[in-house]
């Protein structure tokens, strides 16, 4: 059984797993064991690219919400 775990840890993470790990990091909820597994499996270049894209989407979402609130007159 431990051989299966070693094989799973040796395989690189997929793009979906990278997105999931970055999303959990944005939320701040991650178990230490999962973090260690991610540190071994994830490609740092992919993590940086997904992190920058997620940060850009977050900022864009905030800008859109602010523009919507200001345009609707709720802030007055």
Q: Is the pLDDT of residue 64 over 90?
A: yes
Residue the block writes with tokens 């991650």: 30
Domain with 59 in it? 2-72
Q: Which residue has the higher pLDDT, 76 or 17?
A: 17
Tell me the angle at which helices 15-27 and 44-72 cross, rounded to the nearest 10 degrees: 50
DSSP symbol at 43: -
Counted domains in the chain: 1
Average pLDDT rounded to a whole number, residues 44-63? 94
Burial of 22 (0-12, 13-18, 19+ CB in 10 A): buried
Q: Is the pLDDT of residue 1 over 60?
A: no
Q: Is the pLDDT of residue 71 over 60?
A: yes
What pLDDT, on the 0 to 100 scale, is given for residue 24?
85
Give Cα separations from 32 to 12, 36, 44, 57 (angstroms). Answer: 19, 6, 18, 27
Q: What is the pLDDT of residues 3-45, one digit of tens each?
A: 554 555 566 888 888 888 888 888 888 788 888 888 888 888 9
């Amino acid at each position: 059984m431990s051989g299966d775990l070693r094989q799973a840890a040796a395989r690189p993470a997929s793009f979906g797993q990278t997105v999931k790990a970055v999303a959990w990091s944005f939320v701040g909820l991650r178990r230490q064991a999962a973090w260690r597994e991610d540190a071994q499996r994830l490609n740092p270049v992919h993590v940086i690219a997904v992190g920058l894209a997620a940060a850009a989407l977050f900022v864009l979402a905030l800008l859109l919400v602010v523009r919507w609130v200001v345009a609707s007159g709720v802030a007055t």
